[in-house]
Every structure is written in structure tokens, then in C-alpha cells.
Amino acid sequence: MNNPKVRVRFAPSPTGPLHMGGVRTALFNYLFAKKHGGDFILRIEDTDQNRFVPGAEEYIADSLNWCGLSPVEDPARGGKYGPYRQSERKNLYRKYADQLVESGWAYIAFDTTEEIEQLRKDAEAKGETFSYGIGTRESLNNSLKLSQEEVQQKLDNNESYVIRFKMPKNLDVTENDIIRGSVTFNTTKSLDDKVLFKSDGMPTYHLANVVDDHLMEITHVIRGEEWLPSLPLHVLLYRAFGWDDTKPQFAHLPLILKPTGKGKLSKRDGDKMGFPVFPLEWKDPSTGEIFRGYREDGYFPEAFINLLALLGWNPGTEQEFFSLEELAEAFSLERVVKSGSRFDPEKAKWFNKHYFQQKTVSELSKLFKPVLSEKGILADDKKIEKVVSEIKERCEFVSDLWEQGSFFFAEPVTYDEQAVKKRWKAETPEQLSEINTLFEKVDDWTAASIKESFSAFMNEKGWNFGAIMNPLRLCLVGGNMGPDLFVICEILGKEETGSRINKGIKEIS
Ligand code: GLU
């Protein structure tokens, strides 16, 4: 068989916001497709109507878009294998379920939810667990046990039913996983008769997923480790449909672990440990609860993608910074590890710092401007750029620009007490007044010429530099942080510098 074009899909269920693990699954699918000149597809698996969450599908699309992972086929763009939302494909699954009933791979079951609940409780009382399958199905209310007439009668009476897969007895199902190698499952040991088609007329995940992967000509299924237990059922479904020769290859990605390395990173961990777990902010529509997002926390998508790629994959070299294109070039599933990878929030910040530093002053200034206007500050672009170029190096996030540089735009309202105690002497106000008088006379208001006049004056007076510079900084900045003092004077302008010195003298003394 000649190799078909690589087609992979990201197939989330819109049951809530996409966790960063989900974005990583999308990313690895995207990279694999790019690497092999294939197609990356988004399919929305929304067959479980009870778990539908409004806004979740938009959230998924927005997240992929923010990360730059655009599918070539998806519900919005369409494509020749559409529709790409399973609820819109509803009518096509039934015939596949029927086909399995006809061929004896599946059966009709009439047991009600209450009956099954009772069986579960009875088993529990005996310290056992009930499973609908190999050991129990022949005594239950289904087409294996009932006569054909009885079944027909129930159907004629419109009794509600499901279609279940008939798991073969004691069969070893072996499949190759690109990441894990050969994996074997024994049907009797671990598998029950999963529902394929529900009484509400909808397929379950298993049926819809396999049928769609087949119809959409998916060549590789790349998904999270939590789906590994479903693999034998899916493999058997391909066998049952007679689709073995076009069955996709499988790759189950490792878990992303908590920063402690113990246990899977969960949606609550972010709030507990102070970092985002979701790509974008999410407001739970039923509780109103807000979950923070990487985007709103000030991460650049490049940084987010880069850090995600290295959770479970490594290039086999020392290289740590990769653009999306470089990732696609370097990526291979063979270099994805089996074991879980620990998420390190500090490393995440470190990645952001790298991409922050890569940005030009003008790019960062454009991002800083809205932060300023939100605070009611209207500064001209030149000034913003000057400030950014002075403080850029100390920052990892756009929000740091405000933390490091707010005093350029707003005069201090308080003065650091510790610094005042240490630096403000009885003679300071008098000395600063003299400096102010000197500054008034500086014509060329640039850092260099301010410094020159200042130094000459200091030498003439025989004053100690530190004894003046520190309280001067206190007046201008409110504390002892910030870049070069004369650069601060220059950016503030002569008038503002003078007024801050006067204000400091009045308020600190
Ligand atoms: N709908 C499944 C999910 O929510 C897809 C699993 C798969 O990729 O097969 O993750």
C-alpha cells in the first residue's frame, strides 16, 4: 500500500475550557502534520449532550487561534470531510451501529438506568463491582438473552434501548503505539460491553470517534494517555467494521504532572499554586468562577507553545528555544517520552522572558500603551519608547513594564520609608534646593549634560555623591529603584523633575 497523505485530528469535547494538556495534544498533532506535509483537522466531539458547556467550543477555537495552530478543516472553515461537529453528523452513525448488530459484534440492550443502578448496588453490597459484559450480559435484558420476537415486540412498543459492543471473550488485543511500543489488553480481564449508541439517538464517543476517524481518513491518532484504555475497543471496532487495512496508527501522549511531580496537573492546581493551567481566561458559565489564562497573565503565544512542546518531547539536542516552524521541522513522535513530564512554572516565566527580550522596543511599546491608557495615562509614543528601552532588560512580562516604570508616568505618592530613614538627612532639603536651582539653569536637558553640570557642581561643593543622588532618586521615583538617575531626569523633563524635587522636599522633610 502506498503511504496516504498524513491526516491528523484534534478532537476535543466541548465540556469546558481546554486545559494546557489539551493544547499540547493539539500542538503535537499540528507539528506532526506540518512535519509530514499533512492536514491538521479540528473535530468537535459533542455527542454527550449532558456535558455540553456553552462557550466551550468558541474557547477551543480561540485558544488554537491564539497559539497559531490553525486547522485546515474545522467547523468554521468546513472541508470536504465535513461536517466537523459530531452533533451535525448525528444521522450517519446509526447505520454503523446497525451494521455491527447485524454482524454479531453488537447487540441491543433494554436495561433501564434504574435497573443497572440496582445491579451496581447489589454487587457493591457483596463487595463486588458490576460490569455489563462478558460475565453478566447473558442474563440481562438484551437481544442476546431475549428471543427475536421479544426483541421485536419491545422495539414495536418503542421501549428505549442502547446498542452495546459485544466484547469477545478472553482475547488478547495487541496494538503498536508509536510512543509506547506494543501494548496488549486482555478483553476478559479489563473490558466491559461499552455502549456504542445511546437511547437519545446519539452515538457514544467510541463509535463516533472511530467512524469519523475512518470517514475523515485519519492516518494517525495522537491523543492523551487517558485514552489508552479505550484503545483495545477502538482496535476491535476497526476489526469489526472490516477497516483494518486503513486503521490509523496510534500515539498516546504522556501526562503533564504537577510542579511537585506527583500526580496529573489538574484545573485547580493553577489557582492553588499561582500559575495558569488554561491558555485563555475562562469564566465558568454556571458558577461564574474565573480561571486565569496564559494570555491574560501576559504570556506570549510563542512562549506558551515553546514551553508546551518541551513537556514530553525533546529535540535530542541542547536547543531550548523553538519557533513554531522550527518545532515542526524538528518534531517527531519517536522523541516523545512515555513517562509524565513535570510542569515547572518558573521555567514558563523564563520562556516568556526570552520572547519578551526578543521583541523590539517599538513592539513592546505598542503592547505597553494600552496598559497605560487603562490607568488613564496618555503619554506620547516617543516617551513610551524611551521608557521601554530603559527598563526592558529588567522585565519578563508587559505588566512588569508598569511595575518597573510607573514613576515615569505618575509622580510618587508615597516614599519608601526604609530609604527615607537611611538617606534623608537634616541637610538634605537645603542641598536638594540648591540642586534644583542648578537644574533650572541647565539648557540642554539631556542625561549627559545634566550629569555634567551636576558633577561639576558637586565637585565645587565637595559634597558626597551618594548623599545627594539617593535622596534625589527618592524624590523622583519614590524609592531606590529604577535606571540611571540622569536618564530619569531627562525622560521626566526639566519641569517635572523640578516639581518632584520640590514635592519631595515638602513631603519627606
Ligand atoms: N473527544 C475526546 C476528548 O475529548 C477525543 C479523544 C481522542 O482523541 O480520541 O479528548
Give a three-class secondary structure readout of 42-83: ECECCCCHHHCCCCHHHHHHHHHHHHCCCCCEECCCECCCCC
The confidence band for 2, taking pLDDT boundaries of 50, 70 and 90, is: low
Which position among 35, 154, 264, 267 bears the catalytic label?
267
Percent of the chain predicted with pLDDT > 70: 100
Q: Amino acid identity of 191? A: L
Alpha carbon of 1 to ligand 1 centroid (Å): 28
Q: Is 45 in the pocket of ligand 1 (CB under 6 A)?
A: yes
Most informative mutation of 13, 24, 214 for ligand 1 (most atoms within 8 A of CB) = 13
Q: What is the DSSP string of 265-327?
A: --TTHHHHHTS--BSS-EE-TTT--EE-BTTTTT--HHHHHHHHHTTTB--SSS-----HHHH
Distance 12 CA to ligand 1 centre (A): 5
Could you tell me which residue, 406 or 273, shows the higher pLDDT? 406
Counting from 1 in the atom list of ligand 1, the atom nearest the Cα of 12 is: 4
* pLDDT tens digits, 83-107: 999 999 999 999 999 999 999 999 9
The per-residue pLDDT for range 358-375, each reduced to its tens digit, is: 999 999 999 999 999 999
pLDDT at 1 over 70: no
The whole-chain average pLDDT of the chain stands at: 96
Question: According to the model, what pLDDT value does residue 272 have?
Answer: 83
Instruction: Give pLDDT, residue 509.
Output: 82
Q: Which one is the CATH code of 417-508: 1.10.10.350, 3.90.550.10, 1.10.645.10, 1.20.1730.10?
A: 1.10.10.350
Q: What letter does residue 245 receive in the DSSP assignment?
A: G
Architecture of the domain spanning 359-408:
Orthogonal Bundle (1.10)
Nearest residue (by CA) to ligand 1, atom 3, is: 12
Sign of CA dihedral 41, 42, 47, 51: positive
**Which H/E stretch holds residue 437?**
helix 428-440
Q: What is the pLDDT of residues 381-414, one digit of tens each?
A: 999 999 999 999 999 999 999 999 999 999 999 9
417-508 has the same fold as 359-408: no
The pTM of this model reads 0.92
Answer whether 26 contacts ligand 1 (Cβ < 6 A). no
Give the DSSP H/E element, type plus range, for residue 122: helix 113-125
Joined together, the cell numbers standing for residue 86 give: 459530531
- Check if the beta carbon of residue 5 is closer than 8 Å to that of residue 219: yes
Q: What is the pLDDT of residues 206-227, one digit of tens each?
A: 999 999 999 999 999 999 999 9
**What atom of ligand 1 comes closest to residue 9's alpha carbon?**
8
Ligand 1 close to Cβ of residue 12 (< 6 A): yes
* Centroid of ligand 1 to alpha carbon of 43 (angstroms): 9
Give pLDDT, residue 191: 82
Best mutation site among 225, 227, 237 for ligand 1 pocket (most ligand atoms within 8 Å of CB): 227
Check pocket membership of 11 for ligand 1, CB cut-off 6 A: yes
Q: Per-residue pLDDT averaged across 119-142, rounded?
A: 94
- How far away, in angstroms, is 412 Cα from ligand 1 center? 54
Q: What is the pLDDT of residue 163?
A: 98
State the distance from the centre of ligand 1 to the C-alpha of 245, rounded, in angstroms: 22
Residues 248 and 210 sit within 8 Å (Cβ to Cβ): no
Which ligand 1 atom sits closest to the C-alpha of 222? 8
The candidate with the shortest Cα–Cα distance to 8, out of 43, 47, 56, 59, is 43
What's the confidence (pLDDT) of residue 257? Answer: 96
Closest atom of ligand 1 to 209 CA is 9
What angle in degrees, to the nearest 10, is found between the helix axes of 56-67 and 301-309? 90
Cell numbers 496618555 correspond to: 378
- Residue 271, pLDDT score: 81
For the chain, what is the radius of gyration of the CA atoms? Answer: 33
Judge if the beta carbon of residue 209 lies within 6 A of ligand 1.
yes
Q: How far, in Å, from the CA of 56 to the mean position of ligand 1?
A: 15
β 39-42/7-10 pair status:
parallel
Query: Is 126 an active-site residue?
Result: no
Q: Does residue 142 have its Cβ closer than 6 Å to ligand 1?
A: no
Contact 93, 197 (CB under 8 A): yes
Torsion of CA 456, 459, 463, 465, to 10 degrees: 60
Segment 241-266 shows an average pLDDT of 96
* Centre of ligand 1 from the C-alpha of residue 275, in Å: 25
- Residue-wise pLDDT tens digits, 325-360: 999 999 999 999 999 999 999 999 999 999 999 999
Residue ranges per domain, the chain?
89-253, 267-355, 359-408, 417-508
- Mean pLDDT calculated for residue range 467-484: 96
Q: What is the architecture, at CATH level 2, of domain 89-253?
A: Alpha-Beta Complex (3.90)
Residues 386-400: b if buried by 16+ CB within 10 A, e if exposed: bbbbbbbeebbbbeb
Distance (Å, rounded) from C-alpha 172 to C-alpha 26?
31
In this prediction, residues 283-306 reach a mean pLDDT of 95
- Mean pLDDT computed over 232-237: 98
Task: Specify the fold of 267-355.
Answer: Glutamyl-tRNA Synthetase; domain 2 (1.10.1160)
| Per-residue model confidence as pLDDT tens digits over 7-58 | 999 999 999 999 999 999 999 999 999 999 999 999 999 998 888 899 999 9
With a 6 A CB cut-off, is 234 part of the ligand 1 pocket?
Answer: no
